[in-house]
Every structure is written in C-alpha cells, then in structure tokens.
Amino acid sequence: MQAVIVYESVYGNTRAVAEAVADGLRGARPDAVVSCVPVAGAGPDVIAGADLLVVGGPTHVYGMSSGPSRRLARFAAAGAPVGDEPRVHGPGADAGPGLRTWFRSLPQAPPGTRAAAFDTRADMLVSGGAAQGIARRLTRHRYDLVTGPEGFVVESTGGPLRAGERERAAVWGASLA
Ligand SMILES: Cc1cc2nc3c(=O)[nH]c(=O)nc-3n(C[C@H](O)[C@H](O)[C@H](O)COP(=O)(O)O)c2cc1C
C-alpha cells in the first residue's frame, strides 16, 4: 500500500496530527510506503500512485482556511504565546498555497483510490470544521471516502493539541489501513 498524507498547518498542530496518522498507518501496515507532506510539497508527482490519500487542515471560520484567514493566522502566530508545542513550524512553512488552492490542481483520482479527511479545531460550541469541506472536495475528485470526516481538538488557536488527541490520531490512522 502507498499512502500519502497531505496537511496544511500554521501553528504545527495539524502537522502533529498528520505525523501521528502516518505513524498509526505505519504501525498497522509495516509494508506500506507512507509519506507525510505539507501542501506546498504535495504536487501531482507526490500524489501519483497513492492508493490512500489523507488530507488534513486547520478549521478557520467554521470551515477550510482561506487566503484572508491564513494571513490572519500567520499574523496572530507572530505574537502567539510560547508553550511546549512548536507554534510556527519553520520560517515560511505556511507561505505556500492553502488546501483550497491545492485542490484546484489536484487531478481526478484513478478509480478505487481511497481517501480520508481530518481537521484540527478549537473546542467551540458552534459546529463545523474544515474536514467536511476537504471530504467534499475529495469526493468531487472521485476519491472513495473510507470513513467520515474527523476532527482533532486544540486547546486554543495556537495549540497545543488536547491531551490524548495525538494518540487518537494514531489510532484513526491505523484504522485507515
Ligand atoms: C483565523 C482563524 C479562524 C479560526 N476559526 C475557527 C473556527 O471557526 N472553529 C474552530 O474550531 N477553530 C477555529 N480556529 C482555530 C484553529 O482551528 C486552530 O488555530 C487550528 O486548529 C490550529 O491548527 P494548526 O496549528 O495546524 O494551524 C481559527 C483559527 C484562526 C487563526
């Protein structure tokens, strides 16, 4: 099996979930080739040949990020409090395209290609998350969703992930195998 996990992340939390999903997949399928790449590195050559595509991004304004929300997040990140998690994961790490833009140039999936969508989100009372929009786009690109959209909770805008979410992401990743 060849699995590719594509993530968008401003503060590093979605990246941490993506890496945990990758670890879970590798644990469940030691024979699998699993790569975990940021949106900017996920060109068609990286996706080609994958029989499982997992896509995750942060929830911004009840859905997927947009140009303005990403600018706002980067601006806020510059002043985010420092905790035990990486806040902005490397200079220019999120300067590339967001998932919305990336999806526009994603080729249609070969028949039978599986996929799953996840997001990170704050624990807000209002429902909605980026994973629904990601799942919709995957379906439009003819991917077969193997499970429903999944959300992983951060304690606040810059993180960290809520205790136990990393482990839950690994279990979720294993279930995709
Ligand atoms: C501009 C902006 C809007 C946000 N809107 C929401 C929202 O509507 N619902 C929510 O649960 N979290 C919201 N958040 C919190 C993000 O989901 C959180 O920053 C994200 O999960 C962190 O992921 P990252 O570290 O990968 O960037 C928002 C954050 C930003 C910066």
The CATH number of the domain holding residue 29 is 3.40.50.360
pLDDT tens-digit profile of 17-63?
A: 999 999 999 999 999 999 999 999 999 999 999 999 999 999 999 99
- The answer to whether 14 touches 162, Cβ cutoff 8 Å, is no
Q: Which whole-number Å values give the CA distances from 21 to 58, 79, 82, 112, in the listed order?
A: 15, 29, 25, 21
Quote the pLDDT of residue 83.
Answer: 41
B/e letters for 41-66, b = 16+ CB within 10 Å, e = fewer, are: ebeeeebeebebbbbbbbbbeebbbe
Centre of ligand 1 to C-alpha 79, Å, is 15
Quote the pLDDT of residue 47.
Answer: 97
Look at ligand 1, atom 3, and give the residue with the nearest C-alpha. Answer: 60
Quote the pLDDT of residue 92.
Answer: 43
- The answer to whether 162 touches 153, Cβ cutoff 8 Å, is yes
The C-alpha atoms of residue 89 and residue 101 are separated, in whole angstroms, by 21
Centre of ligand 1 to C-alpha 131, Å, is 12
Q: Give the residues surrounding ligand 1 with Cβ less than 6 Å away.
A: 9-14, 58-62, 69, 72-73, 76, 120-122, 124, 154, 157, 159
What amino acid occupies position 11?
Y
The C-alpha atoms of residue 153 and residue 161 are separated, in whole angstroms, by 6
The C-alpha atoms of residue 152 and residue 18 are separated, in whole angstroms, by 11
Centre of ligand 1 to C-alpha 31, Å, is 35
Find the domain containing 76 and state its range. Answer: 2-176
Q: Which whole-number Å values give the CA distances from 78 to 10, 66, 82, 137, 159, in the listed order?
A: 11, 18, 10, 31, 14
Indicate the number of domains in the chain: 1
Q: Which whole-number Å values give the CA distances from 172 to 15, 60, 76, 140, in the listed order?
A: 15, 22, 30, 23
| pLDDT, mean over the chain | 91
The C-alpha atoms of residue 155 and residue 157 are separated, in whole angstroms, by 7
